[in-house]
Amino acid sequence: MSEMRLQRALARAGVASRRAAEKLIEDGQVKVDGKPAILGMKVDPDRQRITVGRKPVQTQARRWLAFHKPLGVVTTANDEEGRRTVLDFIPNPAALTYVGRLDVMTTGLLILTTDGEAVHRLTHPRYRIPRRYTALVHGRPTAEIAAVARERVVIDGRPVVPTEVRVRPGKDGRSILDLTLEEGRNRIVRRWCEAMGLKVERLARLSYGPVRLGDLAPGRYRPLTPREEAALYKSVHLDPDGTETGTAARASGKRTSRASRTIK
């Protein structure tokens, strides 16, 4: 593993987010080879001993997986009710965590990784990572759904703003709702549909950022391609080897303009 800034190494090992890791370093809780760490110093986690408090930091090889979460599987490491979890499907799941939780009744793409800092950024609303979903709904005619989807829906004091919505007729009075969101609030798609008077029968996530579910079968997983990994890191201004990109833009507080909203 190449050298990287200490706070990045701590985040990547899943100790804390990068900013929380910076606080640990500033508070004197981190040591490198037995000496107090300095914020911003570079380390090689494979060759140097890093401790937080008295606990050594265990480095993990970087790992990225795409998993097709089946219906009824829980997005957690352990379930108190004894239900199957997403990690039950993955050999050697040590240090893996998920990018964006899916509720037990939602299927589709779930990204898993050992890179804690990347997870923090990929799920943070600041980076506006698009998530694409498809839902089978009923409760209103298709034409009405297309009209009401144009209206402003506020949940918990914040508007839900899909960047794209497509409504098409299904069978037996149902409709198919395809949408893209750049946020990941808890059960936000279901709550958005409920606010429009719709009942969600099935819901699946088809993509997360540049990663697509494709024809991956339920319960199966695959490693991300190098191109997919690179695109994910680029989307959150991180370099896979530990350095940051886009620092000037973030420091200025500027954001790219929101994609135009499309309703079909």
pLDDT in tens, 200-238: 999 999 999 999 999 999 999 999 999 999 999 999 998
pLDDT in tens, 195-204: 999 999 999 9
Q: What percentage of the chain has pLDDT greater than the value 90?
A: 71
pTM of the model: 0.80
Task: Quote the pLDDT of residue 257.
Answer: 43
What residue segments make up the domains of the chain, in order of their start? 4-56, 64-125+214-252, 128-208
Out of 3.30.2350.10, 3.50.50.60, 3.40.640.10, 3.40.50.80, select the CATH number for domain 128-208: 3.30.2350.10
Could you tell me if 165 and 177 are in contact, meaning their C-beta atoms sit under 8 angstroms apart?
Answer: yes
- 71-101 pLDDT, tens digit each: 999 999 888 899 999 999 999 898 889 999 9
Contacts of 204 (CB under 8 A, 6+ apart): 106, 107, 108, 133, 134, 135, 213
CATH number of 4-56: 3.10.290.10
Cβ atoms within 10 Å of 95's Cβ, excluding its own = 17
Reported as a single tens digit per residue, the pLDDT across 145-175 is 999 999 999 999 999 999 999 999 999 999 9
* Fold equal for 4-56 and 64-125+214-252: no
**One CATH from 3.30.1490.70, 3.40.50.720, 3.30.1130.10, 3.30.70.580 for 64-125+214-252:** 3.30.70.580
The pairing of beta strand 164-169 with beta strand 262-263? parallel
Active-site positions read 103
Q: Could you tell me if 127 and 235 are in contact, meaning their C-beta atoms sit under 8 angstroms apart? A: yes
Band (pLDDT 50/70/90 cuts) for residue 244 is low
Euclidean distance between the first and the last CA atom of the chain, given in angstroms as a whole number? 48
